[in-house]
Amino acid sequence: MHTTTPPAFNWHQPVDAAQRDAAAAYLTQARQHTWQGNEWPSIISTQPDEALAVIGAGTMGTGIALCALAAGYVTHLFDVNNEALDRGVARIHASLNNALARGKLTPEAHHERLTRLRTHTDWQCLQNCDVVIEAVFENMRIKQEVMAQLHAHCPSHTLLISNTSTLDIDVMASACGRPDQVLGMHFLTPAHITPLVEVVKGRLTSDMSLSRAREVAKRLGKLPVLTGNCWGFIGNRMFEGYLREVDALQLQGVRAERIDHALEQFGFALGPCRTLDMAGTDLVSQVLTERALKFEQDPAYRRITYRLAELGRLGHKSGRGHYVYDGKQRHPDPDLQRICAEEAARFGIAQNPDVSDAHIVQQCVQPLIDEGQRVLAEGMASRASDIDLVWVLGYGFPAERGGPMYMSTSHP
């Protein structure tokens, strides 16, 4: 399953000051290469983009709306469901109020941002938007319906952006009559904080649309990394192999808290089981269901994630996932071991929980390197350092280690 580890590589060795400095210099140079890369069209749009709409008032949509408000856009938040829209507006108010209370916003800036917020449940109200970013449920049929509505109701110049995390931009674009103006912009969670976006080029996306999207990303305060159109793009395509091994380790009896501890000691900002609980096992399972339409999957594939969703153990939102939650406090859940053991017995998987932390790290991180090399070979990323930026800035990979591709060149 795994390729041979480079001989100079030590999976669990602490990073010393010289290595940390070298990785920091590498990532600084990587940012410069990304900003200055010739993969971006040099076309300059004469169309001023001042009104931005976000479709979908969920957590991701409201995060993007907060970015747009901070960037000075007239921001339209749209949802077909009044209650969902009200919850989204409440999240925006809570975030701005919190920033005000902490001194991050002046009263004047707080008031000014709220005066630029518009809310709608009627598609007709999007007739004056220059840019639209959809952030609806990760389902192709729903996203195609949204694209059709946007094509019907938005001006001819409107840039249509999908915040899809995995789905095919070309299939999505086929649902509207302007595929040259459709592209992806994958925001990482939390959208208003994470400093990077993947910009996904479709087969028919025009150079002008790419150029405009880059400027939108820049105005939103994001570093844009261009990626080709493949399942999961750069980040989530690689993330899938990492999470696949997390599920596999749990099936063999390794506890969630041990997996998280090993990878957090390695330097990840958050262990994978905690990450899944934050995302919601129901949403992750939906992504896996869509993935199964494209790729053949073994019956035991990602079985723990599926099973937790089936049991209503959705993570933070339900109070129980890989852990039990008491407010913001999390506690190991001994019942999870029984669930994992039952699933392992169902598929004839032997128990082998007594593995080292170094083994856990290698089993989970090596697939990142392997898939990253395939992404690069297929031309889905412009350079290896772009992949490292996605992982360090978007997925919490330890910056002191430079990123998975940097590590694959035998850096310890």
Task: Give the bridge partners for 118, in sequence order.
Answer: 76
Q: Which helix (H) or strand (E) holds 329?
A: strand 329-332
Helices (H), 37-81: 59-70
Residues in the chain: 412
110 is catalytic: no
Asked if 64 and 191 touch (Cβ cutoff 8 Å), the reply is yes
Task: Give the bridge partners for 231, in sequence order.
Answer: none
Asked if 337 and 344 touch (Cβ cutoff 8 Å), the reply is no
* DSSP-derived 3-state class of residue 231: coil
DSSP 259-293: HHHHHHHHT-SS-HHHHHHHH-HHHHHHHHHHHHT
Asked if 31 and 223 touch (Cβ cutoff 8 Å), the reply is yes
Q: Which two tokens stand for residue 197?
A: 């976006």
Strands 329-332 and 323-326: antiparallel
Non-local (6+) Cβ contacts of 35 within 8 A are 223
Report the distance separating Cα 84 and Cα 58, nearest Å: 7
By C-alpha distance, which of 199, 158, 178 is closest to 50?
Answer: 158
Any idea of the CA torsion for 227, 232, 235, 237, to the nearest 10 degrees?
A: -120
Report the distance separating Cα 188 and Cα 158, nearest Å: 23
Asked if 399 and 22 touch (Cβ cutoff 8 Å), the reply is no
Asked if 309 and 284 touch (Cβ cutoff 8 Å), the reply is yes
CA atoms within 13 A of residue 266's CA, in its CB half-sphere: 31
Report the distance separating Cα 172 and Cα 175, nearest Å: 6
User: Catalytic one among 2, 33, 157, 186?
Assistant: 186
What residues are annotated to the active site? 186
